[in-house]
A and B are shown apart, each in its own frame.
Chain A
Amino acid sequence: GENVEQHPSTLSVQEGDSAVIKCTYSDSASNYFPWYKQELGKRPQLIIDIRSNVGEKKDQRIAVTLNKTAKHFSLHITETQPEDSAVYFCAAINSGGSNYKLTFGKGTLLTVNP
């Protein structure tokens, strides 16, 4: 089955610095890669996603890059703010036909220090 490795498991940065979280996946048929942010005690919320026919996507301070050949994708947060502190999950989804698979990474606890 699909295996998604997420690194690092914890990340601490100073306010204003950039943060990068990386995920690798094993199923080459995966074609959709969302990133979720989960604040303590809250529900996961989609922050950005990318499809396999795109190499990069940006939304204000957040960007995601995808390298299909290497089977890895990364979340980049620039100019971090204390409210960015949360657990971030990546996911890899194979939505082809009857073989739907959805696998999450183990999560990264991001702490932004003021």
Chain B
Amino acid sequence: DSGVTQTPKHLITATGQRVTLRCSPRSGDLSVYWYQQSLDQGLQFLIQYYNGEERAKGNILERFSAQQFPDLHSELNLSSLELGDSALYFCASSPGPVNNEQFFGPGTRLTVL
């Protein structure tokens, strides 16, 4: 157990819908990262927050957004969902903003029908 929690574990929804994925980092970690893992795209970095502020952006679509709250938990919002958004979404946390070991959560499996 990495100490990072994610909810829900599984999510099944329809195209065009909007969902919110939640992540709680390890105690004391200030950075939260979001990743998408699919068979065709592999593991892709989406976005990083550090201490409440967006720090880095990866391959995040405009339909997706995220935020980190004062208690450091983070949410990833996915809207206008498409079939291709079906994937495993991981969040990870680390103590600092860069080049620290990242601890991954168990992931949320999103299925868009």
Which residues of A approach B to under 8 Å, CB–CB? 31-32, 34, 43-46, 49, 51, 89, 93, 95, 100-107
Contacts and interface: CB of A to CB of B under 8 A. Distances in A.
Say whether chain B's binding surface is mostly helix, strand, loop, or mixed: strand
B95 interface: no
Contacts of B43: 44, 89, 104, 107
Contacts of B56: 100-102
B61 interface: no
A100 B2 CA distance: 24
Contact of A31 (B33, B99, B104, B105): B99
Given A102-B56, A104-B42, A46 B90 contact: no
A51 B111 CA distance: 37
Given A43-B90, A102-B56, A102-B58, A32 B102 contact: no
